[in-house]
Amino acid sequence: MRLGLQGVVMPTVIRRESRACPRCSLPLTIVRTDGEPTFEYDVAKWGRLCHHPDTGGPLTCPGLQPVVKAWLGET
Ligand SMILES: [Zn+2]
């Protein structure tokens, strides 16, 4: 359970959060700034761990997609 920071304006805040793919256990980190969020992951690990290498990246892995969606929706 996390509390949001609604009403607090921090334009340069950078927040890093880590999750793992529920299917492949690939660690993925989201970096939030006031611009577009970016995602960090280990490419070599992704190639080794992800069960869906044909998707081209962890963000499109069917296991991670709901996680990413929830992540982006919770701002
Ligand atoms: Zn995955």
pLDDT tens-place string over residues 18-70: 999 999 999 999 888 877 888 899 999 999 999 888 888 888 899 988 988 88
Residue 3 lies inside a defined structural domain of this protein:
no
Residue 5 has φ and ψ, to the nearest 5°, of -120, 40
Distance from the CA of 37 to the center of ligand 1, in angstroms? 19
Question: Ligand 1 centroid vs 48 CA: distance in angstroms?
Answer: 11
Confidence of residue 10 (pLDDT cuts 50, 70, 90): low
Name the residue with higher pLDDT: 11 or 72. Answer: 72
Could you give the CA distance from residue 34 to residue 37 in angstroms, rounded to a whole number?
A: 8
Residue 26's domain comprises 15-73
The whole-number pLDDT of residue 75 equals 55
Encoded amino acid at 70, one letter: A
69 found inside a domain: yes
Q: Which of 62, 40, 39 is nearest to 51 (CA)?
A: 62
| CA 10 to centroid of ligand 1, rounded, Å | 32
Domain annotation covers residue 10:
no
pLDDT value at residue 59 = 85
**Bridge pairing between strands 38-40 and 15-20:** unpaired
Residue in the block written with tokens 């070599």: 44
